[in-house]
Amino acid sequence: MKDGTMSMDVDVGLIWLETHQMIKFTSSIKWEKSQKIMSNKFRLSSGGQINRTERISFKFNGKTFYGFKGDTLASALLANGVHLIGRSFKYHRPRGIFSSGAEETNALVQVIKDKGKTDPNIRATQIEIFEGFNAESQNCWPTVNFDLGAINNLFSPIIPAGFYYKTFMWPANLWGGYEHFIRKAAGLGKSPTENDPDIYDHKYYHCDVLIVGSGPAGLSAAKVAVKTGKKILLVDERPSFGGNLAFADEELSKINDLKPSEWIEETCTELQNNKNIKILNRTSVAAYHNYNYLIMMQNLSDHLSEKEKKGKIRQRLWKVRAKKVILATGSIERPMVFDCNDRPGIMLSSAVRKYINYYGVKCGNNVVIFTSNDDAYETAISLHNKGVKIEAIVDIREQSSGDLPKKCNELGIKILWKNTIIYTEGYKKINNVHVMKLSNNNSCIIGNKFKINCDLLCVSGGYTPAVHLFTQSGGKLTFNEGKYYFQPKTTSPNQISVGSCNGTFGLKKIIEETQTKTNEFLNLNHNDQSNITESKSGNFENIWLLPSDKVSGKTKPFVDYQNDTTANDIKLALREGYKSIEHVKRYTTTGMATDQGKIGNMHALGIVSEITNTKMGELGTTTFRPPYTPLTFGAVVGRNVKQFFDIVRKTPIHEWHEKNGAKFEDVGQWKRAWYYPNKNETMYEAVQRESKAARNGAGILDASTLGKIDIQGSDASEFLNRVYTNAWSKLAIGKCRYGLMLNDDGMVYDDGVTTRLGDNHYIMTTTTGGAASVMSKLEDFLQTEWPELNVYLTSVTDHFATVSVCGSHSKKILEKVVKNINFSNQNFPHMSFKEGLVDKIKCRVMRISFTGELSYEINVQSNYGQVVWEKCMEAGKEFKITPYGTEAMHLLRAEKGFIIAGQETDGTITPVDLQMDWIISKKKYDFIGKRSLYRSDTMRENRKQLVGLLTNDPKEILEEGAQIVEEVKSKPPMDMIGHVTSSYYSPNLNKSIALAVVKNGKKLKGKKLFVPMSDKTIEVTVSDTVFLDKEGDRLNA
Amino acid sequence: MLEIKCPYCGKRSQNEFSYGGDAKIKRPELGKEISDKEWDNFVYYRDNPKGKHSELWHHISGCRQWFKVSRDTASHEIFKTAKLDEDL
């Protein structure tokens, strides 16, 4: 009860604090603005690897600070004493900088650039500052110091895991109301609202050995790998090399009598002088796919000032195929899970070590260290030696046999063995910790509670191997029972893991093991003897969830900081019946934030394992998915933006269409002239005019996009017999024939006219959109099924431009343009072909028609396309020749009832359904899809069949896709018996016409049907599919 | 992304290829009279094995040859590739 009261007091105090600040809000803003540039009062006077000669000023939340070249935003803010960076996602709890790298879970900021352009969710621990850098806190309003959303923290007992699922499920029709508020609360940063002005790049790269990570393992592996003389690539996500060794205490370990930083420098220099190796910094491997295919993002200019950035590529996406991969991705320190382990000023011990040793920044003045292992003692020694007071080291272990605790003892640092922290205080910055003794079996706490005042708490729960890339590549893990982490179990011939990502710890062991393994992996024998001195490490103990003096409902032991998931949420999920770790993850959202659980996932697994009494190895991990760290959309897209987004294919006559005001339509990748509006003409008006002209006078169409396949070989006729439904052997040379191609299932696949140019030579046309897949399909049959056929296919779509001239005057125009052909009906009848000359340009002329009108297609070598087009225009002037686009072409063919494959057909329509029985050869022994036409389903009488529809009101135009019913009911559902496939107002017939597929349509001619629309029902009558010139007189005119 | 060894061109990335289905499906002889069931088996039914699978692939953005691939559908390991007239 007493504890309960205390916890309430804290919450009430918290709200008081926020409210109090509400009053002071206006004045505080003024106060913040009046502040001069802050001093680096937490920066040591010397030391670290920042460039102290280059001072940089930057802004955070509107306030100006300064740091040095080489600082991250995090190190620069810490140097200025700023810990509070943002608010947590759900409870809006104040959060500070927790780590020093890619694993950061709390310190996400919005980076502001010019003209409102902005990057959300940037990790303050990774982004490097530059002159003029500007960032703001996220997920808080109005400011990070005073955030109204913090009221959620008070309500936290009633918003547990799964709260949204439970609450907003009922009543369903209120969702619309909730949605607005939930969407508003969701997400952390703000998306940019303008186009990204930056340049991004893609690069393919092939190498013999890729080494990921440049810590002691990565560098040692590289030193061996360069001896192969092959192409080596070494990448690291950090700006500088050396991994965690780069911020090791300079006095505690030595390699060949060199300090760690000196050894790193010497090794890097040696490598950089070797021309076999390419070394990339600021390059993070996002994904590791099959067959050593890795996606990496290289940051090229995010660390540069606006001026330096100008004209430079921002990020480059590398697509690397490596023969062999060496993973040296290191390990990530984990926190401790206890009540209120999330306050600003609570940081990973290794991060604090990096800030003091690498950046020369002390994260606090009075430090408590909370640990389960010896590694944190190195942090203690580094801090102590640089004048920071260590108030105490709280260690959950009984004792340690290692060198470092002994050394701390000698330095007079207080160590509280077998103790645990049970609570912390300090709303926006930690100010004390509550400590109690652990019972023998670590299950509860005993003795008296006492407080230690501090302004910084370093936590260290041991290290977790970074196995993300290993598992992405398909590697399996095993749980190391003694060391409490998952490590690689399986091996593959073209990949190894070395160093701490493989579960190997200790500098000497890492370097020696890496050398041996790399030599073996690359079939070498180059063992350098290194003389390594390091401290002996003691045992490691692990408690996933530390015991508390409170009932669990009153505590907030955070597991996933960013998503505000506590150990209690995980317990709740288990109580509510979730057993699979993947389900627990989704229900509680643990590990689902932008850090993907790099910090807290192991604890979530550990807690589930303990409560369900399942061994960690059996429980397994959640799946590690790419990317390891978030990628920008810019990097993913690269240069494939705007006009480069997709391939655009233009016909050789495109320029003319453009000049003459054509509107274009996308057909596959092609730009096709859609219609050519005159001044002030609507699309409808233009199409009506074009259609009328094409029928009654002369029309001209660019048909260059139709697929063309040149077919040659002694078995060409037999091949066509097999792929088309009709017979080809008897087609005379110089004649054309329309063909329908089916799939094996008997459904219409593609159609087009094929012309016999010679005994063993045909040219096939396909639909514009189907050209590529028809070609592949024909190759498939020739190569896999009928290799005995002597047939050669060549795609010649782009080789020819096709100018189609139609209408009653077309013959006269052709006679003017192609002078050496006799165009008489007798010499050149419908469905035949002649070779001719347009001036000196060789051409193939086919008399074929898709409009039902007298029509000729002139095929010429592509680059003469526009010349021939212009000649036809010139010759047709006296006949008022009118260019028409695809829309008028569609209208004209609909008047004739000609189908478009893909519009009248949809993969469920047979030629019989199209009432095109005439095209199915009864004599041929077989063709693709023939057998399917005799299945019970395809022979069924009440299949959907192609019919014509006439609206009772001839002015009423049906909507394509509209459903057709036999019987209208007052409201749905009604039995739908088909749908409209094509619909136009025909200017030549002066009435609305439509094609449709309707159940049992063949038998419904003359029957009234209905097309119910949202505002009315349209009455229609089933008609023949051919609306105009049933006898074909116009074709043969 | 897989790396597939085209028997004509050598190792290339998967995005140069397109998948063409089960290599073991035998097309009924042309013109042969067969039952609905036999034909349906050929057109519609395919095994979906976990493990070793014989497949057809098309080097569609390369030499445009079809060839055979023996691949593990779970691990994506490619055991062998072969020309159509060779054994897998």
* A952-963 core/surface letters (b: 16 or more CB in 10 A; e: else): eeeebbbeeebb
Q: In which band, very low, low, confident or very high, does the pLDDT at A187 lie, cut at 50, 70 and 90? A: low
Quote the pLDDT of residue A65.
96
- Asked if B58's CB is within 8 angstroms of A776's CB, the reply is yes
Amino acid A23: pLDDT: 46
A724 vs A149, residue with greater confidence: A724
- Over residues A834-843, the mean pLDDT reads 96
B2 at interface of A, judged by CB pairs closer than 8 A: yes
Are A321 and B3 inside 8 Å of each other by CB? yes
- CATH code of the region A2-185: 3.10.20.440
The band of A192, judged by pLDDT with boundaries at 50, 70 and 90, is confident
CA distance A247 to A717: 77
Crossing angle, helix A260-272 and helix A216-225, to 10 degrees?
30
Residue B64 has its nearest CB partner, among A779, A784, A787, at A779
Nearest CA distance, B70 vs chain A (angstrom) = 15
Answer whether residue A31 shows pLDDT above 60.
no
Residues of B in contact with A292 (CB under 8 A): 3
Percent of chain B that is helix, strand, coil (3-state, to 5): 15, 35, 50
A358-415 pLDDT per residue, tens: 999 999 999 999 999 999 999 999 999 999 999 999 999 999 999 999 999 999 999 9
- Domain containing residue B51: CATH number: 3.30.2270.10
Q: What is the mean pLDDT of residues A63-75?
A: 96
Do the domains A941-1023 and A335-401+415-459 match in fold?
no
Q: Please determine, for residue A777, whether its predicted confidence score (pLDDT) is greater than 70.
A: yes
Q: How close, in Å, is residue A895 to chain B by CA atoms?
A: 36
Q: For this complex, say whether ipTM is above 0.95.
A: yes
Listed range (A32-46, A94-108, A203-217) with the worst mean pLDDT = A32-46
pLDDT tens-digit profile of B34-84?
999 999 999 999 999 999 999 999 999 999 999 999 999 999 999 999 999
Share of chain A above pLDDT 90, in %: 84
- For the domain spanning A941-1023, the CATH number is 2.40.30.110
Cis peptide before A973 (omega within 30 of 0): yes
Closest-CA residue of A relative to B34 is A931
- Cα separation of A688 and A350, whole Å? 76
Mutation for testing the B interface, residue in A931, A932, A936 having most B CBs under 10 Å: A931
Tokens of A772: 């590529």
Nearest-by-Cβ selection for B30 from A290, A321, A926: A926
CA distance A966 to A977: 7
pLDDT tens sequence across A445-466: 999 999 999 999 999 999 999 9
C-alpha Rg value of chain B to the nearest Å: 14
The CATH number of domain A702-893 is 3.40.50.300? no
Predicted pLDDT at A754: 98
Q: How many CA atoms lie within 13 A of A718 on its CB side?
A: 13
Taking the C-alpha atoms of residue A921 and residue A866, their distance in angstroms, rounded to an integer, is: 40
Cis geometry, peptide bond prior to residue A954 (ω within 30 degrees of 0): no
* pLDDT at site A13: 43
pLDDT at A622: 85
Q: Would you say residue A728 has pLDDT above 90?
A: yes
Domain ranges of chain A: 2-185, 199-331+465-533, 335-401+415-459, 702-893, 941-1023
From the number of C-beta atoms within 10 Å of its C-beta (0-12, 13-18, 19+), residue A112 rates as middle
Residue A197 preceded by cis peptide, ω within 30: no
A915-929 confidence digits (pLDDT tens): 999 999 988 999 999
Is the per-residue pLDDT at A8 higher than 70? no
Which residues in chain B (53-82) have CB-CB distances under 8 A to chain A?
A: 56, 58, 60, 64-66, 75-76
Residue A501 has pLDDT above 80, yes or no: yes
Alpha-carbon radius of gyration of chain A: 38
Beta strands in A45-129 (DSSP E): 51-60, 63-69, 84-87, 94-96, 108-112, 118-123
d(CA B84, nearest CA chain A) in Å? 7
| Span A995-1020, pLDDT tens digits | 999 999 999 999 999 999 999 999 99
pLDDT in tens, A944-1000: 999 999 999 999 999 999 999 999 998 889 999 999 999 999 999 999 999 999 999
Pairwise CA distance, residues A214 & A242, whole Å = 5
Report the residue of chain A nearest B74, measured CA to CA. A474
Residues of A within 8 A of B31 (CB-CB) are 925-926
pLDDT for residue A148:
74
Residues of A with CB under 8 A from a CB of B: 289-293, 321, 474, 722, 744-745, 776, 779-780, 783-785, 787, 925-926, 931-932, 935-936
- CATH number for region A199-331+465-533: 3.50.50.60
Report pLDDT for A368: 98
Least confident span in A137-151, A407-421, A586-600, B68-82:
A137-151
Residue B12 lies in a domain: yes
Closest alpha carbon within chain B to A772: B60
Res A27: pLDDT: 42
Angle at A484 between CA A405 and CA A579, to 5 degrees: 145
Cβ contact, residue pair A932, B60, below 8 Å:
no
Closest residue of chain B to A926, computed from CA coordinates: B31
Return the residue in B6, B34, B43, B56 with the most chain A beta carbons within 10 A, the one to mutate for interface testing.
B43
In a domain, B88, yes or no: no
**Residue whose tokens read 């396909």:** A766
pLDDT band at A28 (very low <50, low <70, confident <90, very high): very low
Superfamily of domain A335-401+415-459: FAD/NAD(P)-binding domain (3.50.50.60)
Q: Is B63 domain-assigned?
A: yes
Question: How does the average pLDDT of chain A come out, rounded?
Answer: 92
A124, A202, A223, A447, A538 from A75: Cα distances, Å: 9, 31, 31, 39, 30
CB contact under 8 Å between A321 and B56, yes or no, is no
Contact assignment for A744 to B42 by CB distance below 8 Å: yes
Which amino acid is residue A853, in one-letter code?
A: E
Cα separation of A553 and A574, whole Å? 15
Please answer whether residues A993 and A1021 qualify as being in contact, where contact means their C-beta atoms are separated by less than 8 angstroms.
no
Instruction: Give me the pLDDT at residue A456, please.
Output: 98
A930 or A151: which leads in pLDDT: A930
Please give the tally of structural domains in chain B: 1
**Per-residue model confidence as pLDDT tens digits over A86-128:** 888 888 899 999 999 999 999 999 999 876 689 999 999 999 9
Sign, CA dihedral A230-A235-A241-A247, equals: negative
Put simply, whether B15 touches A (Cβ < 8 Å) is no
The C-alpha atoms of residue A24 and residue A15 are separated, in whole angstroms, by 14
Q: Which residues contact A773 (CB under 8 A, 6 or more apart)?
A: A750
* Per-residue pLDDT at A73: 98
**B18: contact with A, CB 8 A cutoff:** yes
pLDDT at A172: 61
Tell me how many residue pairs between chain A and chain B have CB atoms under 8 A apart.
54
What is the Cα A815 distance to its own chain's centre? Answer: 57
A776 contacts in chain B (CB < 8 Å): 18, 58, 60
Full residue range of the structural domain in which residue B28 is found: 3-82
The CA distance from A306 to B40, in Å, is 66
Nearest by CB: A931 against B2, B13, B39? B39
pLDDT at A166 over 80: no
Residue type, A409: N
Query: Which residues of chain B lie closer than 8 angstroms to A722, CB-CB?
Result: 30
